[in-house]
């Protein structure tokens, strides 16, 4: 007798689907088969049974210019669970004046309220030689991924190319992964310096000053340095066809590079900046053109784009109040709750990607990159009991009002979607049950030190 049996659903496995029961005991997937018996049984007839989603890229309670992104680790992970996510990867908050270990300790405090399991990427701001020892120190604490900004010179977060070279060599030697925000500061800062007053006051200048070529030159440079230092590289929030081409080139050259894109780059274009509330879409990279969206969808289907994350970093309308320039806004969009639903509805249902692609790009691939596979990212016996029961036919309309993220607008307001989470289960515990959150604040584990060796 198993603890929990999910009966009669269609299991979405990496290689295809299987009509079977799935059993969970002691927090782990225990069996796949027919006629399994459980102390608790959930019927999944007509439903898809998915491995829990892994969002590679969130920013809960991120301090930015005197404010914080409006979801903390509690509200943000509850919303994520409603969207079929069971693990998130957030970031430490780096600074030139603190050590990576100090950043980690501080961020683990913020993350204590998480209802989902989580890992943290170490954000590195202010690379210097002494970071080498710091990097080894946090690696021993379970940090595998190290994030660098190639842009944002104006806020002091940029890492210079020579510093990247040195840092990538060290990350390679410990066996970590370098994450880059790939936008070319040289191009952005020149374009910004030469804006007219009128352009300075226009939201459209966000796209003008961060063109696709600035992503492509940065991706290309980061990939060359990664190849040279034999370092694993992950490009976050890829937004353009040109950037994708550089990822593809690097992959074909044998460089160990992966890339994520986000729903906003698949579904929205720079035309939204013309809207009355266009400033609510402030985020970087900027949104691009519909041809870029198409190429990114193709990339997901053919594997040159490895996964979808959200860059979830919500700010409310009040926080994003227009102050006269596209530069005077906090940058970031909400997304952790809607990502899998959008991917399913706009991707799988519309034939742009297959269900097996969906499983790979929202669960398996991020688990592998984060060194969590096969503990996470799969429904195979032995894995953590992170399972989502998904109603593929349920039609509903996305709106800030029926979503759970702590933000009063949605970039996808009014969009009709097909597919909704019925149950979210993590480590065998049902935390979303037919529209209700049934989990507990702080139940999430920091997976850094808890990666299983088996």
Q: Is 123 in the site for Zn ion (CB under 5 A)?
A: no
Alpha helices for 327-438 (secondary structure H): 339-342, 355-359, 365-369
Instruction: Choose between 148 and 390: whose C-beta lies nearer to Zn ion.
Output: 148
CB atoms within 10 A of CB 61: 19
Instruction: Enumerate the β-bridge partners of residue 107.
Output: none
Q: How far is the CB of 261 from Zn ion (least distance, A)?
A: 13
Q: What single string gives the DSSP state of each residue in 388-431? A: EEEEEEEEEE--TTTS-SS-S--TTTT-EEEEEEEEEEETTEEE
Helix (H, G, I), strand (E, B) or coil at 115: coil
Q: How far is the CB of 233 from Zn ion (least distance, A)?
A: 16
Could you tell me the maximum CA-CA distance found in the chain, to the nearest angstrom?
71
Helix (H, G, I), strand (E, B) or coil at 413: coil
Selected range binding Zn ion among 34-42, 154-162, 208-216, 307-315, rule: CB under 5 A: 307-315
Number of shown-chain residues binding Zn ion (CB under 5 A): 1
Instruction: Choose between 311 and 429: whose C-beta lies nearer to Zn ion.
Output: 311
CA distance to 20, 62, 370, 414, per residue, from 99 (Å): 49, 18, 22, 44
CA–CA gap between residue 233 and residue 268 (Å, rounded):
26
Instruction: Choose between 246 and 311: whose C-beta lies nearer to Zn ion.
Output: 311
Instruction: Choose between 233 and 425: whose C-beta lies nearer to Zn ion.
Output: 233
Instruction: Choose between 292 and 311: whose C-beta lies nearer to Zn ion.
Output: 311
Q: How far is the CB of 333 from Zn ion (least distance, A)?
A: 10
Q: Is 386 in the site for Zn ion (CB under 5 A)?
A: no
Beta strand pairing call for 28-33 and 16-25: antiparallel
Selected range binding Zn ion among 187-195, 283-291, 303-311, 414-422, rule: CB under 5 A: 303-311
Q: Is 306 in the site for Zn ion (CB under 5 A)?
A: no
Instruction: Choose between 123 and 429: whose C-beta lies nearer to Zn ion.
Output: 123
Q: Is 185 in the site for Zn ion (CB under 5 A)?
A: no
Selected range binding Zn ion among 20-28, 100-108, 227-235, 311-319, rule: CB under 5 A: 311-319
CA–CA gap between residue 159 and residue 13 (Å, rounded):
40
What phi and psi, each to the nearest 5 degrees, are found at residue 401? -70, -30
Q: How far is the CB of 57 from Zn ion (least distance, A)?
A: 6
Selected range binding Zn ion among 306-314, 364-372, 406-414, 438-446, rule: CB under 5 A: 306-314
CA–CA gap between residue 176 and residue 120 (Å, rounded):
13
Q: Is 103 in the site for Zn ion (CB under 5 A)?
A: no
Q: How far is the CB of 403 from Zn ion (least distance, A)?
A: 20
Q: Is 311 in the site for Zn ion (CB under 5 A)?
A: yes
CA–CA gap between residue 433 and residue 281 (Å, rounded):
32
For residues 125 and 149, the answer to whether their CB atoms sit within 8 Å is yes
Selected range binding Zn ion among 36-44, 308-316, 391-399, 432-440, rule: CB under 5 A: 308-316
Selected range binding Zn ion among 79-87, 137-145, 216-224, 304-312, rule: CB under 5 A: 304-312
CA–CA gap between residue 404 and residue 399 (Å, rounded):
10
Q: Is 183 in the site for Zn ion (CB under 5 A)?
A: no
For residues 361 and 353, the answer to whether their CB atoms sit within 8 Å is yes
Q: Is 55 in the site for Zn ion (CB under 5 A)?
A: no
Instruction: Choose between 55 and 311: whose C-beta lies nearer to Zn ion.
Output: 311
Instruction: Choose between 282 and 375: whose C-beta lies nearer to Zn ion.
Output: 282
| CA 217 to chain centroid | 23
Contact positions toward Zn ion, by CB under 5 A? 311
């Amino acid at each position: 007798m198993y603890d929990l049996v999910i009966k009669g659903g269609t299991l979405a496995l990496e290689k295809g689907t299987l009509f079977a029961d799935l059993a969970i005991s002691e927090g782990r997937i225990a069996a796949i088969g027919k006629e399994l018996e459980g102390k608790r049984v959930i019927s999944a007839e007509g439903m898809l049974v998915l491995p829990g989603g892994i969002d590679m890229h969130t920013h809960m309670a991120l301090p930015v210019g005197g404010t914080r992104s409006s979801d903390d680790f509690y509200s943000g992970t509850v919303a994520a669970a409603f969207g079929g996510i069971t693990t998130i990867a957030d970031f430490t908050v780096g600074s030139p004046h603190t050590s990576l270990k100090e950043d980690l300790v501080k961020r683990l405090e913020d993350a204590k309220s998480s209802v989902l399991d989580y890992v943290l990427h170490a954000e590195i701001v202010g690379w210097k030689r002494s970071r080498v020892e710091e990097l080894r120190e946090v690696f021993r604490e379970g940090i595998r991924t190290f994030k660098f900004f190639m842009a944002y010179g104006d806020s002091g977060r940029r890492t210079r190319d020579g510093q990247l070279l040195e840092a990538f060599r060290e990350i390679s030697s410990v066996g970590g992964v370098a994450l880059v925000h790939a936008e070319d500061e040289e191009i952005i800062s020149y374009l910004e310096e030469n804006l007219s007053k009128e352009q300075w006051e226009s939201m459209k200048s966000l796209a003008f000053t961060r063109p696709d070529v600035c992503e492509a030159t940065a991706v290309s440079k980061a990939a060359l340095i990664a190849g040279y230092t034999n370092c694993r590289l992950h490009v976050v929030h890829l937004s353009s066809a040109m950037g994708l081409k550089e990822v593809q080139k690097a992959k074909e050259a044998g460089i160990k590079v992966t890339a994520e894109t986000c729903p906003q780059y698949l579904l929205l274009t720079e035309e939204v900046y013309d809207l009355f509330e266009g400033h609510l879409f402030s985020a970087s990279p900027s949104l691009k053109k519909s041809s870029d969206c198409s190429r990114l969808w193709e990339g997901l289907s053919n594997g040159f784009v490895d996964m979808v994350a959200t860059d979830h970093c919500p700010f409310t309308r009040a926080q994003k109040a227009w102050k006269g320039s596209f530069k005077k806004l906090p940058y970031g969009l909400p997304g952790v709750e809607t990502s899998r639903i959008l991917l399913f509805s706009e991707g799988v249902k519309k034939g742009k990607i297959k269900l097996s692609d969906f499983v790979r790009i929202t669960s398996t691939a991020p688990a592998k990159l984060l060194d969590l596979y096969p503990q996470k990212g799969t429904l195979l016996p032995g894995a953590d009991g992170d399972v989502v029961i998904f109603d593929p036919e349920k039609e509903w309309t996305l709106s800030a009002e029926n979503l759970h993220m702590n933000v009063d607008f949605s970039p996808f307001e009014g969009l009709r979607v097909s597919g909704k989470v019925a149950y979210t289960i993590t480590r065998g515990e049902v935390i979303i049950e037919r529209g209700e959150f049934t989990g507990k604040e702080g139940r999430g584990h920091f997976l850094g030190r808890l990666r299983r060796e088996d």
